[in-house]
Structures are given as C-alpha cells and as structure tokens.
Amino acid sequence: MRPLLLLCATLLLMPAPFARADGQQSAPRAADDFILVIHGGAGVVPKDELTPEQEKASRATLDAALLAGHAVLARGGRSLDAVVAAIKILEDSPLFNAGKGSVLTADGIVTMDASLMDGATRQAGACADIRHVKNPIELARLVMDKTPHVLLTGEGAERLAKEHSLPLMPAEYFITEHRKLQLQRVQEREKSRPADPKKAQLNSLDAIGTVGAVALDKHGNLAAGTSTGGMVNKRFGRVGDSPVIGAGTYANNLTCAVSGTGHGEFFLRGVVAYDIAAKMEYQGVTLTNAATDVVMRKLTEAGGKGGVIALDRQGNVAMPFNTEGMYRGVIRPDGKPWTAIRKD
C-alpha cells in the first residue's frame, strides 16, 4: 500500500508537462519560459500546386513573424505586444490572407477584420470592414486601448485610425494579381454550378486562410490575435468570425488563448474559441482535449472546415485542424522557429 501512496503523491506533485510543437510532451515549464504560436490560415494549396519557391517564401515569412514576436518576449515584453508584432509581419506579406494580399470580395475589393484579446485583463479590441488601414491588428489594439468599445466597423473605425495616425494605404495596395485570379476562378466555378444561395461560394477550400497568433509571456500572461481579409467572393457587408471575440479569438489567463482560421460562419455559430476555453473552465479538461473535441468533433460534425492554434498557461500547445493543412509555427526561448504546413 505504502509504495502505491508514494507513487500517487509523486505523480500529483509533478509539474505540468510542457508540450512540444509536434504535440509530444517535453520538459516541464521553467518559470521564465515563454512561447509564441502562429498560424497563416487553414487554406492550404494542394501539394502539387505549391511550388518549392512558394513554400520556401511562406515558411520564411512565418519564421520572420515568429522571430519578431520572440524578440518582444525574450526582452520580457508582453504577450499582447508579441502577438501584434508577429501578426504585423504576416499582414505586410502578400502571401497571406490579411493586410496586403487579402482575398477579394465579390465586388473585387478588400475588406479586412481583426481582433485582439488580453488574457490577463480580458480586455479586447476588434475592427471589421477595414479598407485602408495598413495593419488592422494595430487598429484592434487602438480600439482596446483608446475606446470604451470592443468592436468598431468601417468608416468609424478608420476615423479612429486617422486620429491616432496609423499608416493608411490606398485600396490598390492590398490587391495582388494572385487574388484577382483566385476571385475569377471561384466566380467561374460558381457560375457553372448554380447553387443553393445558402451554400454558395464559401465551400471552396481555397476560400480560407487568415493569420493569427497566441502567446504566453515571462509574466505568465496569455494573449491572442487574429487578422483576415475574410473569405474570397464574400458578399457585401459580410463579416466572419475573426473580429468576433469568442468565435475567432479568445484569451483568458484562467484557461487558454485561441486564434482560429476557417469557414467563419461555422466558427461564429459554434463560438469555437470560447467553446475551447469553456470546456477547460467548466469541465476541467486539458487544452489538447478541449481543442481537439471542439475542432475535430464539433466543428467537423457541423460541416465546418478549419483549425485553431491554442495555448495554455503551462505552455501546452494544441493545433488541431480538419483541412489538408494549416500554415503554423512555434517559437520558444531558444529562438529556433518551427514551422509546418501539412499534417506531416
């Protein structure tokens, strides 16, 4: 009996394991550990269509975003600042669906959404239908820091950006050749398949792809942020899950930080990011179990495509997705970026 009691006591006292990016457990979390996890969307181009150069360029951008966030965290900066720093790099790259290079609406223009949440205070800021702000994630930050509101849209949101001198760009800055061709392709496909308007457009996998980040800083605080151009060929005024706190983004030091990517309508109806945190809070399940259940079972059963990156206060990471792949990356104190695109 005694050895058994001793074993139980030892197991109870053991520190929570520190999960590696590939899901394996590794060393326990040291007091000064920090971690940044990012995604570049679950809209992965099929393997035979992605040239080695394109793959290299996407990975290099993910690396740059990880290193930008790492620089903030390594000097003892806040998770919130690391999330913004990483997302800005992805917004500035034409390769991802956020900021420059965002997907086009049915009318051929770019309208962007972003949100940010601080796990320590549960303060949040978000913006939607943004057309000129170079880095919508910075505008989300302004909404959080400088207004009593959580979500500002369109012209009003852009007024706030102007008041605080955020860099603005002409509409053409955000539009790339690749996105024009993508819109043409999607619209042609739709013409040839006159569809049920409820199902129209948003089923195509190449319609998704967004950027997001979650971080844990040296002070033990979590933060999450997401930025997107939304879904290609979206109808006038459509807003997805990314700027909606609880659907596409959520952070709470008590549970986890989450950023999602995928078919936003399903993330909105499933309140995906908050559902993961709620499972942890109310059912006491682990991050991995909560995130896997919400994405791989609930989202999948509802017919939604996508994935999330999720991080808890012990530094455990979960990155479930039910698409062919999800651009993703992790960086820890050693400063070595880890990135992956497909399931392997």
Catalytic residues: 210
Give one word for 237, left, alpha or beta, with left for phi > 0 and alpha for psi -120 to 50: left
Q: Which listed residue (99, 220, 225, 240) binds ligand ASP by CB under 6 A?
A: 240
Q: Residue count at the site for ligand ASP (CB under 6 A)?
A: 17
Q: Determine, following the binding rule CB under 6 A, whether residue 43 of this chain makes contact with ligand ASP.
A: yes
DSSP annotation string for 139-194: HHHHHHHHSS-SEEEHHHHHHHHHHTT--B--HHHH--HHHHHHHHHHHHHHHTS-
Choices 144-152, 159-167, 205-213, 251-259 (CB under 6 A): range interacting with ligand ASP: 205-213
Question: Which amino acid, 297?
Answer: R
Q: What is the rounded CA–CA span in Å between residue 119 and residue 222? A: 5
Q: Determine, following the binding rule CB under 6 A, whether residue 129 of this chain makes contact with ligand ASP.
A: no
Choices 30-38, 77-85, 130-138, 226-234 (CB under 6 A): range interacting with ligand ASP: 226-234
Judge contact between 223 and 78, C-beta under 8 A: yes
Q: Determine, following the binding rule CB under 6 A, whether residue 99 of this chain makes contact with ligand ASP.
A: no
Q: What is the rounded CA–CA span in Å between residue 33 and residue 251? A: 18
Q: What is the rounded CA–CA span in Å between residue 234 and residue 81? A: 31
Choices 73-81, 104-112, 175-183, 206-214 (CB under 6 A): range interacting with ligand ASP: 206-214
Buried b (16+ CB within 10 A) or exposed e, 272-281: bbbbbbbbbe
Q: Determine, following the binding rule CB under 6 A, whether residue 210 of this chain makes contact with ligand ASP.
A: yes
CB of 233 to ligand ASP, least distance (A): 12
N-term to C-term CA, the chain: 45
Q: Determine, following the binding rule CB under 6 A, whether residue 242 of this chain makes contact with ligand ASP.
A: yes
Q: Determine, following the binding rule CB under 6 A, whether residue 126 of this chain makes contact with ligand ASP.
A: no
Instruction: Map residues 69-98 to x or -, x wherever contact with ligand ASP holds by CB under 6 A.
Output: ----------------------------x-
DSSP label at residue 49: G
Choices 149-157, 235-243, 272-280, 324-332 (CB under 6 A): range interacting with ligand ASP: 235-243
Q: Determine, following the binding rule CB under 6 A, whether residue 262 of this chain makes contact with ligand ASP.
A: yes
Residues 263-282 interacting with ligand ASP (rule: CB under 6 A):
264, 267
DSSP annotation string for 248-296: TEEE-TTSEEEEEEE-HHHHHHHTHHHHHHHHHHHH---HHHHHHIIII
Judged by the rule CB under 6 A, the positions of this chain that interact with ligand ASP are 41, 43, 97, 208-210, 228, 230-231, 240-242, 248, 261-262, 264, 267
